[in-house]
Structure 1
Amino acid sequence: MSIFQALVLCLAWLGQCAGTDCDAEIGGVLFLQTAVSAASHSHGVGKQHPAPQDEMVHPLWDAAEKFFHIKRAAVGSVHIQSFKIPGIFENLSKYCVVLVYVVFSLMCGRFCLVGVPAKAPQDPQVSKGCPRSWLIYMGVVYAFIYFSTDQYVPSLPQMEADLAGSQALMSGTVQLNLFVKAVFGLMSAGLSDRIGRRPVVLACVVLLSLASLCCACAGRIEWFIAARILQGMGESVEPVVFAMARDYFADSNERFKVIAALQMMAFVGIAVAPLYGGVCAAYLSWRLSFLSLAIVWGLLAAYAFWAMMESCPEGSQESYLKDVARILDPHLLCLLLTESCIMGGYFTFNANSSYLMEESFGRSVMASSIVMLIYGALSGLGAVLIEKLHLSSVLRMGQLALSLLALAGMISMVLGLYFSEYLWSYLAGSFLQASVGMMALVATNVLFFEPLADCAGMAASFEIVAQSILPSLLSAIGTQSMIQVGPKGLTLWQAGACVAGGVLFWLGYGCNPPAWTLPLEPSERPKSLRLLADEAEETS
């Protein structure tokens, strides 16, 4: 046997060892058969006359060529069964889920029959300002609300195998969670106005700890979905966080900085969560990330019980219907729909990128985690750009940001139409959208809250609905587009959401802004507001 023949035999053996799926195993057998046949020719086995040199080299070359064309399955696309959760923990999680639903139903019945409890008075310390430790706490809570979902997105294909689910069901757990958070967010902020912020925050954070533990111990997809619904109910604390920011920061300029800081912390969670979840899934188990979340939420609940002050202001509440009528002003409704489209593009990426990378392009869990990390980092850069851009008004900032977002969507459409078979085309378009999406979202948020300072809690509830329900629907349609059409369908749908956001903003707000949209420069403000600002400076 010559050295070249021995090399081909080694390649054939390596091909068989690398065969982690059926195609690779078949390929390995073909390599061995071809190589052994070639070696037999050289020793005269089965033939009395050796084959000519070119006829002998041909099957050897075919064997080597087939080896190098074998595509080894990526680490993330091979569903390795995670360790089986002990039966006792699985049963305890079921009992815990049922118990939480029973307790919640009883409490709702009590509120309907007896009424809500009386609100505690506002703590005198609130008037002195927000402690730095509590401001950090609000940022951590807001960041971990998004962390709770984004941490397991790279593990969706693995979880599908472990929980006996399907791609539609696993992606649906992301979208269902957003829908539940939006629905219960409508109630949580209004309830905190009537019974106080403290009991609502404590209940939601404790619920998040229990729900995360139940997700970690779920043995079937049905119980995982039930636990994710509980997580969505707990995540309805998000509008209460914004209501507390209103309580502590009466000045609009200070509140703008606080909201921008909260958004920055949220995108830190968005960036870090997929990487952490991917590491847990790749080296240990996806269940570890949920278990860690249960511990973190438990610690946050303990700190809130010890340090939280009641911040809800005293006084009579305005009519609910009047507040709703103000929020549903055509200009403000257009801004809510714009936010829905912006978040729809993000949720479409969030719920489907891991399946696209791992199933369609054979990448690993860690690769999809790193992509989501880059996406979150680029989104966070948008908040930095807000501070760097010195535009004359928030309106102009929104016009610029939404124009760039629509342009990014158009570029993504072109890439999806002509280069959808390449992963880089989808990633390039998504990264372009991420780089301007945060700037567009914050500018739209500020414009929305500008005339609603006295009903910010209710406005935050409607904003959560706008950022969750319609984006969840858009994300679900994006999932079906990827299943039915492939990468091109997902790319075009995600890009279309960004284009729609820009078009809605310009048609309903940017071209004809309302009277309350005021420039930031003092010289451009109306005379009455300049007089008020001068009086405030004199008194200070």
Structure 2
Amino acid sequence: MHPQAATLWPHPRWLLAVLLAGLGMLGPFSIDTYLPAFEGIARSTGATPVQLQQTLSSYLLGFAVMNLFHGALSDAIGRRPVVLAGLGVFTLASAGCALSSTIEGLIFWRAVQGMCAGAGMVVSRAVIRDLFPPSEAQRVMSQVTIFFGVAPAIAPLLGGYLYVHADWHAIFWFLTGVGAVLLLINLRALPESLPPASKQEFAVRPLMQGYASLLKSPRFLLLVMASGIPFNSMFLYVLAAPEYLGRHLGLGPTQFFWFFLCTIGGIMGGAAWSGRVAGKMKPESQIRRGFTLMLVGVLANLLLVSVAPQHARWSLPLIGLFSLGWAFMVPVVTIMVLDENPERRGMASSLQSALSAAANALVAGALVPLVMHSLQALALTAVGFLMVGLVAWQWVRRLPRIGRTGA
């Protein structure tokens, strides 16, 4: 923790949560807002379904690669400069997307968007842990998730409205405006939470050695898998939304928000619940309850689409139940991940985000095109992702606690 943590942010804690949630929302906004416009992008640019999917996978790949460096840079030069630079480049990249007239140009600028969109999310986790001890950090992370949840809930509604009443370019001009506003707000309000004595020299070779050391830690890897892999059970449906919602459920572009209302409502509810029990419930019990809810959600969804596919719209609340369980347990696991390397929490956060984003990119580019045409295939894949996370968590419980917990 920063020795002057109490004075760095003298305002109410929820205001810091709002500020950091704004940084975290860039990722979901960059994905959810333009999904309703896939059909229009295809008509305008002549893109094939595979090329349209590449606008997602290129974004996620750029997100994964640069996340290896955001946290380490913030450990070296401070949290604030990395956030501000990320917001600036994101704004320019969004304008590049808006000005694109070819699918190749859109794919390129989407990759640049992804490279900088993760800066705020990665660094915001480190900021929270810089300023608060573990139980308080869990409460703040839960508050961030609650406020953050508003963004992707309204993103597809805004995207659908802009697409119907203007065109798909307007969506990216909207993202340009979001980036510019966040840049101005953070330029004025974001504190520098990294203590000067804690700054680490940025050098690629030692950084890679540090990552190698973390990757050799079974506990770190399993914790990342326990939180990140199950997320893909829900994210799978987000990536397949144009096919899943449009063809399977028969929803129009302006109706996509029903799906996001369920998923984000679950996330916000789970985060609020997690914040209330922070410091009162044992972390292992909280994680177990979260996995139980997720398991009920995916198994009930698989049963529904197998025996009554004509009622597939009832899957939406079940996906919401899954997101409730995920959001309830993930703040606890995230604190565990960061405390695996308390001297370089930015680096740990970077590697966690990079690994999760790499998995997301693989799902977007390779897996979603294979399973999005079948409700049963989507449901079975969701079950598979959850089982990987559940096995990882059970494995963590059997490992010795050799990681150090910082103040």
TM-score, normalization by structure 2: 0.87
For 1:212 and 1:156, how far apart are their aligned partners in 2?
17
Report the equivalent of 2:320: 431
- In angstroms, what is the RMSD of aligned CA positions? 2.9
Report the equivalent of 1:473: 362
1:389 Cα deviation after fit: 4.4
| Superposed counterparts of 1:410-449, under 5 Å | 410-424=299-313, 426-449=315-338
| Superposed counterparts of 1:507-518, under 5 Å | 508-510=395-397, 512=398, 514-515=400-401
| Superposed counterparts of 1:284-363, under 5 Å | 284-315=166-197, 317=200, 320=207, 321-322=209-210, 324-326=212-214, 328-363=216-251
Q: Partner amino acid for 1:160?
A: A
For 1:426 and 1:127, how far apart are their aligned partners in 2?
45
Moved more, 303-312 or 330-339: 303-312
Q: 1:175 to 1:357 in 2, by over 3 A?
A: same
Report the equivalent of 1:173: 55
**Secondary structure of 1:468's partner?**
helix
1:474 Cα deviation after fit: 2.7
For 2:371 and 2:310, how far apart are their aligned partners in 1?
13
| Superposed counterparts of 1:153-232, under 5 Å | 153-232=35-114
For 2:271 and 2:6, how far apart are their aligned partners in 1?
29
1:495 Cα deviation after fit: 2.9
1:292 Cα deviation after fit: 1.8
Contact 1:202 1:304 (C-alpha < 8 Å) held by counterparts:
yes
Higher normalized contact order (CA 8 Å, seq sep 6+, divided by chain length): 2
For 1:302 and 1:145, how far apart are their aligned partners in 2?
18
For 2:261 and 2:41, how far apart are their aligned partners in 1?
20
1:355 Cα deviation after fit: 1.6
Report the equivalent of 2:115: 233
For 2:333 and 2:78, how far apart are their aligned partners in 1?
28
Q: 1:264 to 1:428 in 2, by over 3 A?
A: closer
> Can you give the 5+ residue segments of structure 2 that lack an aligned partner in the other structure?
none
**Secondary structure of 2:25's partner?**
helix
Report the equivalent of 2:30: 148
**Secondary structure of 2:46's partner?**
coil
Report the equivalent of 2:265: 377
For 1:314 and 1:423, how far apart are their aligned partners in 2?
54
Q: Partner amino acid for 1:153?
A: L
Q: 1:517 to 1:301 in 2, by over 3 A?
A: closer
1:393 Cα deviation after fit: 0.9
Q: 1:124 to 1:295 in 2, by over 3 A?
A: farther
**Secondary structure of 1:338's partner?**
helix
1:225 Cα deviation after fit: 0.8
**Secondary structure of 2:101's partner?**
coil
For 1:417 and 1:193, how far apart are their aligned partners in 2?
49
For 2:273 and 2:3, how far apart are their aligned partners in 1?
37
1:130 Cα deviation after fit: 1.8
- Which of 461, 464, 467 is equivalent to 2:350? 461
Q: 1:359 to 1:307 in 2, by over 3 A?
A: same
For 2:251 and 2:369, how far apart are their aligned partners in 1?
21
For 1:136 and 1:427, how far apart are their aligned partners in 2?
27
1:205 Cα deviation after fit: 0.7
Larger Rg belongs to: 1
Q: 1:221 to 1:354 in 2, by over 3 A?
A: same
Report the equivalent of 1:128: 7
Contact 1:155 1:281 (C-alpha < 8 Å) held by counterparts:
yes
Q: 1:369 to 1:346 in 2, by over 3 A?
A: same
| Superposed counterparts of 1:9-88, under 5 Å | none
Deviations 1:408-438 (A, max 9, x none): 2222222233333542254354233223121
User: Is the counterpart of residue 402 in structure 1 residue 291 in structure 2?
Assistant: yes
**Secondary structure of 1:464's partner?**
helix
For 2:132 and 2:360, how far apart are their aligned partners in 1?
31
Q: 1:192 to 1:355 in 2, by over 3 A?
A: same
For 2:303 and 2:17, how far apart are their aligned partners in 1?
43
Q: Partner amino acid for 2:127?
A: M
Report the equivalent of 1:90: none
For 1:304 and 1:517, how far apart are their aligned partners in 2?
33
For 1:462 and 1:431, how far apart are their aligned partners in 2?
28
Deviations 1:427-474 (A, max 9, x none): 354233223121132232133234433221111001101321113323
Q: Partner amino acid for 2:265?
A: A
Contact 1:481 1:490 (C-alpha < 8 Å) held by counterparts:
no
For 2:330 and 2:188, how far apart are their aligned partners in 1?
34
For 2:320 and 2:223, how far apart are their aligned partners in 1?
23
1:335 Cα deviation after fit: 1.2
For 1:456 and 1:409, how far apart are their aligned partners in 2?
33
Contact 2:145 2:267 (C-alpha < 8 Å) held by counterparts:
no
TM-score, normalization by structure 1: 0.67
Contact 2:339 2:345 (C-alpha < 8 Å) held by counterparts:
no
For 2:69 and 2:210, how far apart are their aligned partners in 1?
17
1:306 Cα deviation after fit: 4.3
For 1:487 and 1:403, how far apart are their aligned partners in 2?
23
**Secondary structure of 1:296's partner?**
helix
**Secondary structure of 1:317's partner?**
coil
Contact 2:262 2:317 (C-alpha < 8 Å) held by counterparts:
no
1:516 Cα deviation after fit: 6.2
Q: Partner amino acid for 2:7?
A: K
Moved more, 430-439 or 225-234: 430-439
Question: Structure 1 vs Structure 2: percent identity of aligned residues?
Answer: 22
For 2:18 and 2:44, how far apart are their aligned partners in 1?
37
Q: 1:246 to 1:283 in 2, by over 3 A?
A: same
Contact 2:34 2:156 (C-alpha < 8 Å) held by counterparts:
yes
Q: 1:309 to 1:435 in 2, by over 3 A?
A: closer
For 1:322 and 1:479, how far apart are their aligned partners in 2?
33
1:358 Cα deviation after fit: 1.2
1:206 Cα deviation after fit: 0.9
> Can you give the 5+ residue segments of structure 1 that lack an aligned partner in the other structure?
1-122, 519-528, 534-540
1:387 Cα deviation after fit: 3.3
